Amino acid sequence: MPARADGVPTRNPDTAILFLMVGLPGSGKTTRAKELAVTHQALRLTPDHWMVALFGDSMADGKRFVLEGRLISVALQALRMGNSVVLDFGLWGRDERSALRWLAQANGATCRVVYLPVDKDVQLARIARRQETEPHQTFPMSEADVDQWRTQFHVPDAGELDGGEIPRPPAGWPGWAEWAAGHWPSCTEN
């Protein structure tokens, strides 16, 4: 059985895949994440489901990043055991995706960025339908919110989508592990 540099045994890294679901609300991420989880017998982690159940709010005074950090830690444990994981986070920022791609590699897994673009009109219709049919599983979202989010979202480039080289972390960060711990305060590799 292969082992990481620190001697922790791992399964064949070709069997463990970290799927990063990338897209805005209403793009179909969770639907596709469910499909990938079934197809790859993967653990699916969706922070919105936890945030609604625990806090009834999408951000809850910064608790979302704490929750995401814990879910990432669970994902890394699963990857080290050879299990695939689907992170259904949205991952709007390139730095988030780069950090997670690096963490997957550092934990003996491969990573696939799954980007789901969505037209604004389709997005608004899906959000309205979700708010009508499943109000207890979503958060209020206005057209103004959608407009703001569309300007904040960083579309993945070809390198990310094709599994290309991971860029260096932003200035001031010695590595992606440190960046991840700073962004997701409860994210640990253990």
Q: Nearest Cα to 92, choosing from 148, 18, 17?
A: 148
Using alpha carbons, select from 101, 96, 91 the residue that is nearest to residue 149.
Answer: 91
Residue 88 has a pLDDT of 95
Domains and CATH numbers, the chain: 17-182 (3.40.50.300)
Q: pLDDT, tens digit, for every residue of 87-129?
A: 999 999 999 999 999 999 999 999 999 999 999 999 999 999 9
Asked if residue 9 has pLDDT above 50, the reply is: no
pTM, two decimals, is 0.86
Strands (E), 91-167: 110-115
Q: How confident is the model at residue 190 (pLDDT cuts 50, 70, 90)?
A: low
